[in-house]
Structure 1
Amino acid sequence: MSSDSSSYICPTWPAPTSVRAYVSTRIGGVSNAPFDGLNLGDHVQDDPAAVRQNRQLFSSYIDMPNSVTWLNQVHETDVVTLPCDVLPNSADAAFSSSVKQVCAVLTADCLPVFFCNQLGTQVAVAHAGWRGLCAGVLESTLNQFDDVSQVMVWLGPAIGPTAFEVGGEVREAFMSVRQEARLAFTPSVELEKWLGNLYLLAEQRLVAAGVTQVYGGDCCTFTEKERFYSYRRDGKTGRMASVIWLDG
């Protein structure tokens, strides 16, 4: 079991010092195969006691407040503002302007997207699988901020452009929203299949919405097996957590 910085990644972005953000890896933790490592997902049939211990370990590694809210993610576009009295049945992004309120999403190939404003007074994180990304989860999250032009974004670990094979219907769905999405797809060796670039698709949508600072997008959960969980690679597997909060 590891307790050093290999168990998490800090975004490389010029965020204000009041913003704390991290994404976990699978390194460390107490879960057994096929979740072996620091699985933070409690919906994947892992031992609940192991998940609870992993969440406690991750929290201690990064000195995270105990206000984290875990969402029921459904690949759509709803955003919850935290804290809230009644958590909605589902949401794929969380936003907050409250100090010490942790926003979190779980992923294992889908794209975690971190947001903060330049003043360091508003933060958010979104879970962007291709369906949610295409439907507008990033735009819905940006709508929570006072001034989109002052928002910076970091794209966390997701399945990379050499591994994300999709059918033509996925390409067509993105192109029906923005024609420039064609640039994010290259033909696969498999007949009538395409390789999609989630990072580029996200960047296109963010820039079109008015974001001028986009960072990250240089990992691949599918190919980096020792570091990340990947649903597409392994099927039954764990989840990484992406968390962000204001530290005051």
Structure 2
Amino acid sequence: MSHNILSASKTFSPQTPLADDVLCFTTSTIGGVSEGCYESLNVGLHVQDDSQSVRQNRQRLNDYLVEQSVKGGKRPADIPWLNQQHSNRVVTVNDLNSSPAMIADGCTANDRLQPLAVMTADCLPIVMASTQTNTITVVHAGWRGLLSNIIYNGVACFSPKESINAWIGPSISAQHFEIGQEVLANFKDYSHSIKEAENNKYFVDLRAIAVQQLTDLNVNNVEVSPVCSYATLSCFSHRRSQHLGNNQTGRMATVIIRL
């Protein structure tokens, strides 16, 4: 992506860097070429957008990472895109290279200049970085992933007792994530993150659940983005799109790379 386009577009980043030489951010809707309900920086090939537009958007993102890496004189690898299915599987880049179609909702790497990314449009993008080694990990955590231990599997990519910092990127806030009685029982272990709403509905604080899980796994330095994907128009939001009568919307990318 040209410097002017991505620099002018709105991205979201943690206030405090996760570790030395670690860059991470979440893209917004701005700065791409997609049209209609995908306008404009949609990076999801699976949402029925024009595939050529998506590939162009992804290339712009890769080009931006090249620009961020020029100071080191080396070119970063391309982003390995995941086949996300709300699973709890976290894989290595080598796994993806050998089987690109494998289902996974998280990825880990130990090499500098190897970017990782997940796609979201309300779910939680969670990036983790070691302060002692080169290990970085990213996971896509919707409510199913949270309840099936995707965070545990992400933390397991690091060595025991390793110091890990984490950032939870833009995601849906509790006041906009409403569930019915049929889903409520799944959250029996997280009653403190549930508030009763109207008409036998309940609000769930997915961010609080993620923070609790990370803390229980000794990831004590966790920053949570205050940006709600539903309430922020420069974010893609699947739930907001549905409420507006659209069956589809684009996907943002949350990227982490150790330069």
TM above 0.5, one fold?
yes
Residues 79-94 of structure 1: matches in 2 within 5 Å? 79-84=90-95, 85-87=97-99, 89-94=102-107
Structure 1 residue 2, shift from structure 2 partner: 4.3
Query: What is the TM-score when the length of structure 1 is the normalising length?
Result: 0.91
Question: In 2, Cα distance between the equivalents of 1:5 and 1:215?
Answer: 25
Equivalent residue for 1:158?
Answer: 171
Q: SS at 2:137's partner residue?
A: strand
State percent identity of aligned pairs.
Answer: 34
Structure 1 residue 55, shift from structure 2 partner: 1.2
Structure 1 residue 17, shift from structure 2 partner: 2.2
Structure 1 residue 58, shift from structure 2 partner: 2.2
Structure 1 unmatched ranges of 5 or more:
none
Question: In 2, Cα distance between the equivalents of 1:220 and 1:148?
Answer: 32
Is the CA contact 2:81–2:117 (under 8 Å) kept in the aligned structure 1? yes
Is the CA contact 1:13–1:154 (under 8 Å) kept in the aligned structure 2? no
Q: SS at 1:145's partner residue?
A: coil
Equivalent residue for 1:232?
Answer: 239
Equivalent residue for 1:199?
Answer: 207
Higher percent of residues as helix: 2
Is the CA contact 1:107–1:240 (under 8 Å) kept in the aligned structure 2? yes
Q: Residues 212-242 of structure 1, C-alpha deviation per residue, up to 9 Å, x if partnerless?
A: 11102311111112x1001111131000011
RMSD (Å) for aligned C-alpha atoms: 1.8
Question: In 1, Cα distance between the equivalents of 2:127 and 2:253?
Answer: 12
Query: What is the TM-score when the length of structure 2 is the normalising length?
Result: 0.87
Equivalent residue for 1:147?
Answer: 160
Question: In 2, Cα distance between the equivalents of 1:169 and 1:132?
Answer: 17
Residues 183-194 of structure 1: matches in 2 within 5 Å? 183-189=192-198, 191-194=199-202
Question: In 2, Cα distance between the equivalents of 1:210 and 1:38?
Answer: 35
Is the CA contact 1:159–1:220 (under 8 Å) kept in the aligned structure 2? yes
Structure 1 residue 62, shift from structure 2 partner: 3.8
Equivalent residue for 1:220?
Answer: 228
Total equivalences in the alignment: 241
Is the CA contact 1:148–1:211 (under 8 Å) kept in the aligned structure 2? no
Structure 2 unmatched ranges of 5 or more:
69-75, 242-246
Q: Residues 15-69 of structure 1, C-alpha deviation per residue, up to 9 Å, x if partnerless?
A: 2222121211101211111101111111111111111111122223343734311
Is the CA contact 2:12–2:170 (under 8 Å) kept in the aligned structure 1? no
Q: SS at 1:3's partner residue?
A: helix
Question: In 2, Cα distance between the equivalents of 1:71 and 1:109?
Answer: 17
Q: Residues 64-85 of structure 1, C-alpha deviation per residue, up to 9 Å, x if partnerless?
A: 7343110111111111012334
